[in-house]
Amino acid sequence: MSINFNEKSQGISGNSGSGDLKPGEDALEKAKRTGERTRFVHKPNPLVERDYQIFEYKIEKGDYEHVGDYVLLNKEEPREVTDKKVMNILTLLNGKDDLIDLSSLTKTRLLYTIVPEAQAGDQTKIILKDYDGSGVSKDNAIFTIRKGVLYDKFRPVSD
């Protein structure tokens, strides 16, 4: 069964719909207010500054459930860049490809490492790194999401 979580935004380009937020409102609150349901939304973590919580819409509950986190390690990164990186991750999670180009803001390449399953526990953990072309890449953030939420193409298929 295929579900279109975001019928209102079909054919509309741009980021994940955060452009019409009310003052002080996050994407989760907007989704509840408008009834527009993207599969994944995010909101700032209320306990940790500049970290984000990732929520997935659960049809059987009719509400969003916390399934992951984006934890910023490089606290010197400009807030605008962090916000746009998180929006890009949500855009990909929602099956879209209209990403925000960050090359003019960062002057770095984004690299990542997927933490081995044995070390990640019940989550898929991805370490995001910045590489400026000189020396070694630097850890930037850790993205974690509950195991099973993402399709893992490397998982062997059992009969």
Model pLDDT for residues 21-55, shown as the tens digit of each residue: 677 667 777 767 776 778 899 999 999 988 999 99
What pLDDT is attached to residue 19?
57
60-76 average pLDDT score: 92
88 within domain boundaries: yes
Distance CA 99, CA 88 (A): 5
| Both structure tokens of 124 | 């898929």
Q: State which residues form the domain around 131.
A: 18-146
102 within domain boundaries: yes
What pLDDT is attached to residue 1?
29
159 within domain boundaries: no
Q: What is the mean pLDDT of the chain?
A: 79
Distance CA 41, CA 32 (A): 11
49 within domain boundaries: yes
Higher local confidence (pLDDT), 77 or 14: 77
151 within domain boundaries: no
Q: What pLDDT, in 10s, does the model give residues 70-113?
A: 999 999 999 999 999 999 999 999 888 889 988 888 888 889 99
What pLDDT is attached to residue 69?
95
135 within domain boundaries: yes
Number of domains in the chain: 1
44 within domain boundaries: yes
Res. 65: pLDDT tops 80: yes
DSSP letter for each residue of the chain:
----TTGGGTT--SSSSGGGPPTT--HHHHHHHH----SEEEEE-SSSTT-EEEEEEETTTTEEEEEEEEEE--TTS-HHHHHHHHHHHHHHHTT---PPP-HHHH-SEEEEEEPPHHHHTTEEEEEEEEE-SSSS-EEEEEEEEETTSS--TTSPPP-
What pLDDT is attached to residue 4?
35
9 within domain boundaries: no
